[in-house]
A = this chain, B = another copy of it.
Amino acid sequence: MTHDSSVDSYRLRPIGSVRSPLKRREDCPHQGYDGAPEAWIEIGPAFAAGLDGITPGCEMILLTWFHEARRDVLQVHPRGRTDNPPRGVFATRSPDRPNPIGLHRVEVLEIESPGRIRVRPLEALDGTPVIDIKSILAKSGDG
């Protein structure tokens, strides 16, 4: 394999962080629909202009960085159950993976102030860095 790019890594800067009642990894549901709570997303003032157009009621995709995940894991038992045969992490949604990016489809419930957004459901831990937010593409159903 060759890379066209001359660098072999990129620097990711958090744009904000998650405020959630989920304080420990073992408290987190596996997915948002597994009973995850509401959470607040706090976006840094330097990035608030990028939120223009996000309104209560809309759905969006939140990308987070699972800062407590293991990056050296390539195979897991799906949903952490050892009776499930091991699978490649890229065929799962395990937080443990080489670049531990979390992908969450959430509904916007409230915008309290520029940069403070209440969403649900969110299975990410309190303090999890937020790295990107995207609109939903209705046409592709990509959520």
Contact = CB atoms under 8 A, between A and B. Distances in A.
A98 B51 CA distance: 12
Contact of A131 (B53, B99, B137): B99
Contacts of A129: 3, 5, 10
Contacts of A63: 99, 101, 103
Contacts of A9: 11-14
Interface of A: 1-5, 8-17, 31-33, 42-45, 47, 49-54, 60-61, 63, 65, 67, 74-75, 86-93, 97-99, 101, 103-105, 115, 126-127, 129, 131-135, 137, 139-143
Contacts of A54: 88, 90-91
A109 B12 CA distance: 31
Contacts of A105: 140-142
Given A9-B11, A90-B50, A98-B47, A42 B142 contact: no
A126 B137 CA distance: 23
A86 B142 CA distance: 23
Contact of A97 (B33, B50, B92): B50
A77 to B, nearest CB: 12
